[in-house]
Amino acid sequence: MTDTDLPPRLTRLTFHGPLSEARAARIVERLARTGPATVLDIGCGWGELLLRVLDAAPGATGIGIDIRGDDLARGRDNAKARGLANRVEFVEESATAATRGPADLVLCLGASHALSGDAEPPHHTVAALHALRRLVSPGGRVVLGEGFWQRTPTTAELAAMWPDASAGEHLYLDQLVQVAVDAGFRPVWTETADMGEWEEFESGYQADTEEWLATHGDHPLAAETRERLDGHRSAWLSGYRGVLGLAYLTLVPVE
Protein backbone atom coordinates (compact mmCIF):
# COMPACT_ATOMS: atom_id res chain seq x y z
CA MET A 1 0.00 0.00 0.00
CA THR A 2 1.43 3.39 -1.00
CA ASP A 3 0.65 6.92 0.15
CA THR A 4 -1.31 7.44 -3.07
CA ASP A 5 -3.74 4.75 -1.89
CA LEU A 6 -4.55 6.75 1.24
CA PRO A 7 -6.75 9.82 1.64
CA PRO A 8 -4.91 13.16 1.45
CA ARG A 9 -4.28 14.92 4.75
CA LEU A 10 -6.05 18.23 5.45
CA THR A 11 -5.41 19.82 2.06
CA ARG A 12 -8.67 21.82 2.34
CA LEU A 13 -7.46 23.61 5.46
CA THR A 14 -5.37 26.77 5.37
CA PHE A 15 -5.12 26.86 9.17
CA HIS A 16 -5.34 23.90 11.51
CA GLY A 17 -8.14 25.49 13.51
CA PRO A 18 -11.25 27.69 13.23
CA LEU A 19 -9.46 30.77 11.94
CA SER A 20 -10.73 32.81 9.01
CA GLU A 21 -8.63 34.67 6.49
CA ALA A 22 -10.03 37.98 7.74
CA ARG A 23 -9.23 37.29 11.40
CA ALA A 24 -5.77 35.97 10.54
CA ALA A 25 -5.02 39.13 8.55
CA ARG A 26 -6.02 41.33 11.48
CA ILE A 27 -3.93 39.31 13.92
CA VAL A 28 -0.89 39.38 11.64
CA GLU A 29 -1.21 43.13 11.10
CA ARG A 30 -1.35 43.81 14.85
CA LEU A 31 1.60 41.53 15.56
CA ALA A 32 3.75 42.90 12.73
CA ARG A 33 3.32 46.44 14.10
CA THR A 34 5.19 45.36 17.25
CA GLY A 35 8.28 44.63 15.13
CA PRO A 36 9.19 41.13 16.33
CA ALA A 37 12.69 39.96 15.45
CA THR A 38 12.13 36.37 16.58
CA VAL A 39 9.01 34.22 16.40
CA LEU A 40 8.44 30.85 18.07
CA ASP A 41 5.44 28.69 17.11
CA ILE A 42 4.61 25.89 19.57
CA GLY A 43 2.70 22.97 18.05
CA CYS A 44 2.99 24.76 14.74
CA GLY A 45 1.60 22.10 12.38
CA TRP A 46 2.50 23.52 8.97
CA GLY A 47 2.98 26.98 10.50
CA GLU A 48 0.67 29.04 8.30
CA LEU A 49 0.28 31.91 10.77
CA LEU A 50 4.02 31.82 11.51
CA LEU A 51 4.82 32.22 7.82
CA ARG A 52 2.36 35.07 7.43
CA VAL A 53 3.90 36.92 10.36
CA LEU A 54 7.38 36.49 8.89
CA ASP A 55 6.14 37.75 5.54
CA ALA A 56 4.67 40.83 7.24
CA ALA A 57 7.69 41.47 9.47
CA PRO A 58 10.75 41.77 7.19
CA GLY A 59 13.93 40.59 8.85
CA ALA A 60 12.19 38.48 11.48
CA THR A 61 13.21 34.84 11.84
CA GLY A 62 11.07 32.00 13.12
CA ILE A 63 11.11 28.50 14.53
CA GLY A 64 8.14 26.12 14.37
CA ILE A 65 8.03 23.09 16.66
CA ASP A 66 5.78 20.08 16.17
CA ILE A 67 5.89 16.30 16.41
CA ARG A 68 4.25 15.58 13.03
CA GLY A 69 6.86 15.28 10.33
CA ASP A 70 4.37 15.44 7.45
CA ASP A 71 2.94 18.75 8.67
CA LEU A 72 6.45 20.15 9.12
CA ALA A 73 7.34 19.09 5.58
CA ARG A 74 4.29 20.97 4.31
CA GLY A 75 5.48 24.04 6.23
CA ARG A 76 8.96 23.80 4.70
CA ASP A 77 7.49 23.51 1.22
CA ASN A 78 5.27 26.54 1.81
CA ALA A 79 8.21 28.53 3.18
CA LYS A 80 10.30 27.72 0.13
CA ALA A 81 7.48 28.68 -2.24
CA ARG A 82 7.12 32.06 -0.51
CA GLY A 83 10.83 32.84 -0.37
CA LEU A 84 10.98 32.45 3.42
CA ALA A 85 13.04 29.27 3.69
CA ASN A 86 16.14 31.12 4.91
CA ARG A 87 14.20 32.82 7.70
CA VAL A 88 12.33 29.89 9.25
CA GLU A 89 13.18 26.50 10.69
CA PHE A 90 10.67 23.70 11.23
CA VAL A 91 11.83 21.33 13.97
CA GLU A 92 10.39 17.91 14.78
CA GLU A 93 10.49 17.75 18.57
CA SER A 94 8.30 17.85 21.65
CA ALA A 95 7.57 21.25 23.17
CA THR A 96 7.54 19.85 26.70
CA ALA A 97 10.15 21.77 28.71
CA ALA A 98 10.77 23.87 25.61
CA THR A 99 14.11 25.68 25.61
CA ARG A 100 13.85 27.46 22.27
CA GLY A 101 12.92 30.86 23.69
CA PRO A 102 12.78 33.53 24.64
CA ALA A 103 11.25 35.01 21.52
CA ASP A 104 9.64 38.36 20.78
CA LEU A 105 6.48 36.60 19.62
CA VAL A 106 5.29 33.19 20.76
CA LEU A 107 2.38 31.50 19.00
CA CYS A 108 0.52 28.61 20.61
CA LEU A 109 -2.69 27.88 18.73
CA GLY A 110 -4.65 24.91 20.02
CA ALA A 111 -1.44 23.37 21.37
CA SER A 112 -1.35 24.24 25.07
CA HIS A 113 -1.27 20.51 25.83
CA ALA A 114 2.20 20.43 24.26
CA LEU A 115 3.51 22.69 27.03
CA SER A 116 1.62 21.36 30.03
CA GLY A 117 3.40 18.10 30.74
CA ASP A 118 1.27 15.80 32.88
CA ALA A 119 -1.19 18.50 34.02
CA GLU A 120 -4.82 17.45 33.66
CA PRO A 121 -7.48 19.71 32.10
CA PRO A 122 -8.20 22.47 32.89
CA HIS A 123 -4.95 22.82 34.86
CA HIS A 124 -3.01 22.19 31.66
CA THR A 125 -4.04 25.68 30.53
CA VAL A 126 -2.53 27.24 33.65
CA ALA A 127 0.67 25.22 33.21
CA ALA A 128 0.91 26.23 29.58
CA LEU A 129 0.48 29.92 30.38
CA HIS A 130 3.32 29.81 32.90
CA ALA A 131 5.50 28.07 30.30
CA LEU A 132 4.60 30.72 27.72
CA ARG A 133 5.49 33.46 30.22
CA ARG A 134 9.01 32.00 30.38
CA LEU A 135 9.30 31.72 26.60
CA VAL A 136 8.38 35.29 25.66
CA SER A 137 10.87 38.16 25.71
CA PRO A 138 10.17 41.28 27.82
CA GLY A 139 7.82 43.54 25.91
CA GLY A 140 6.95 40.73 23.50
CA ARG A 141 3.64 39.12 22.64
CA VAL A 142 2.01 35.73 23.07
CA VAL A 143 -0.93 34.61 20.96
CA LEU A 144 -2.74 31.76 22.67
CA GLY A 145 -5.51 29.90 20.90
CA GLU A 146 -7.34 27.98 23.61
CA GLY A 147 -10.63 26.14 23.97
CA PHE A 148 -13.28 27.25 26.45
CA TRP A 149 -16.88 26.43 27.23
CA GLN A 150 -19.31 28.91 25.72
CA ARG A 151 -21.93 27.49 28.05
CA THR A 152 -22.24 24.51 30.36
CA PRO A 153 -22.56 21.36 28.24
CA THR A 154 -25.50 19.08 28.92
CA THR A 155 -25.07 15.45 29.90
CA ALA A 156 -26.18 14.38 26.42
CA GLU A 157 -23.72 16.73 24.73
CA LEU A 158 -20.85 15.48 26.88
CA ALA A 159 -21.74 11.89 26.06
CA ALA A 160 -21.55 12.71 22.34
CA MET A 161 -18.12 14.36 22.57
CA TRP A 162 -14.77 12.64 23.07
CA PRO A 163 -14.30 9.75 25.55
CA ASP A 164 -14.58 10.79 29.20
CA ALA A 165 -15.56 14.36 28.32
CA SER A 166 -16.48 16.33 31.43
CA ALA A 167 -17.84 19.77 32.20
CA GLY A 168 -14.76 20.49 34.29
CA GLU A 169 -12.13 20.11 31.60
CA HIS A 170 -12.49 23.57 30.08
CA LEU A 171 -12.70 27.04 31.59
CA TYR A 172 -15.21 29.71 30.65
CA LEU A 173 -13.92 32.73 28.74
CA ASP A 174 -13.74 35.03 31.76
CA GLN A 175 -11.87 32.35 33.71
CA LEU A 176 -9.46 31.78 30.82
CA VAL A 177 -8.58 35.46 30.64
CA GLN A 178 -8.17 35.60 34.42
CA VAL A 179 -5.71 32.70 34.54
CA ALA A 180 -3.69 34.49 31.85
CA VAL A 181 -3.58 37.56 34.09
CA ASP A 182 -2.63 35.39 37.07
CA ALA A 183 0.23 33.89 35.03
CA GLY A 184 1.79 37.34 34.52
CA PHE A 185 0.15 38.70 31.37
CA ARG A 186 -2.13 41.54 30.39
CA PRO A 187 -4.69 40.68 27.69
CA VAL A 188 -4.33 43.30 24.97
CA TRP A 189 -6.77 41.60 22.60
CA THR A 190 -9.51 39.03 23.25
CA GLU A 191 -11.48 37.47 20.41
CA THR A 192 -13.27 34.20 19.73
CA ALA A 193 -13.93 32.06 16.69
CA ASP A 194 -17.45 32.43 15.32
CA MET A 195 -19.76 29.73 14.02
CA GLY A 196 -18.73 30.31 10.42
CA GLU A 197 -15.09 29.74 11.27
CA TRP A 198 -15.95 26.54 13.14
CA GLU A 199 -18.03 25.22 10.23
CA GLU A 200 -15.28 26.05 7.74
CA PHE A 201 -12.76 24.22 9.89
CA GLU A 202 -14.83 21.15 10.72
CA SER A 203 -15.98 20.70 7.13
CA GLY A 204 -12.48 21.22 5.75
CA TYR A 205 -11.06 18.85 8.35
CA GLN A 206 -13.06 15.97 6.93
CA ALA A 207 -13.64 16.95 3.29
CA ASP A 208 -10.62 15.21 1.75
CA THR A 209 -11.34 11.93 3.47
CA GLU A 210 -15.08 12.08 2.87
CA GLU A 211 -14.46 12.40 -0.88
CA TRP A 212 -11.91 9.58 -0.73
CA LEU A 213 -14.43 7.32 1.01
CA ALA A 214 -17.04 8.03 -1.64
CA THR A 215 -14.79 6.41 -4.27
CA HIS A 216 -12.82 3.89 -2.17
CA GLY A 217 -15.56 1.94 -0.42
CA ASP A 218 -13.77 -1.37 -1.02
CA HIS A 219 -10.40 -0.17 0.26
CA PRO A 220 -8.95 -2.22 3.17
CA LEU A 221 -8.99 0.90 5.36
CA ALA A 222 -12.45 2.10 4.32
CA ALA A 223 -14.40 0.64 7.26
CA GLU A 224 -11.95 1.97 9.84
CA THR A 225 -11.81 5.38 8.16
CA ARG A 226 -15.61 5.59 7.90
CA GLU A 227 -16.02 4.79 11.59
CA ARG A 228 -13.49 7.45 12.55
CA LEU A 229 -15.06 10.13 10.34
CA ASP A 230 -18.61 9.36 11.39
CA GLY A 231 -17.54 9.46 15.02
CA HIS A 232 -15.85 12.83 14.61
CA ARG A 233 -18.82 14.33 12.78
CA SER A 234 -21.22 13.07 15.42
CA ALA A 235 -19.05 14.49 18.21
CA TRP A 236 -19.14 17.88 16.51
CA LEU A 237 -22.79 18.07 15.47
CA SER A 238 -24.29 16.32 18.50
CA GLY A 239 -21.69 17.29 21.06
CA TYR A 240 -19.50 20.38 21.00
CA ARG A 241 -21.02 22.47 18.18
CA GLY A 242 -22.00 25.79 19.74
CA VAL A 243 -20.69 24.61 23.11
CA LEU A 244 -16.91 24.53 22.73
CA GLY A 245 -15.38 27.85 21.82
CA LEU A 246 -11.90 28.82 20.72
CA ALA A 247 -10.42 32.04 22.09
CA TYR A 248 -7.53 33.92 20.54
CA LEU A 249 -5.81 35.87 23.28
CA THR A 250 -3.03 38.32 22.48
CA LEU A 251 -1.05 38.69 25.67
CA VAL A 252 1.78 40.97 26.77
CA PRO A 253 4.00 39.95 29.70
CA VAL A 254 4.01 42.11 32.81
CA GLU A 255 7.53 43.29 33.60
pLDDT digits (tens, 9 = 90+) for 92-113: 998 875 678 899 999 999 999 8
Q: Choose among 173, 239, 170: nearest CA to 202.
A: 239
Q: What's the pLDDT tens digit per position in 120-175?
A: 888 899 999 999 999 999 999 999 999 999 999 999 999 999 999 999 999 999 99
pLDDT for res 89: 97
Q: Beta-strand (E) ranges in 37-115? A: 38-42, 61-66, 88-92, 103-109
DSSP state letter for 172: B
Provide the H-helix boundaries in the chain.
21-33, 48-56, 69-81, 123-135, 155-160, 173-182, 195-215, 222-234
Domains defined for the chain, CATH in brackets: 8-151+165-194+244-253 (3.40.50.150)
* pLDDT per residue as tens digits for the range 49-98: 999 999 999 999 999 999 999 999 999 999 999 999 999 999 999 887 56
4 versus 159: the higher-pLDDT residue is 159
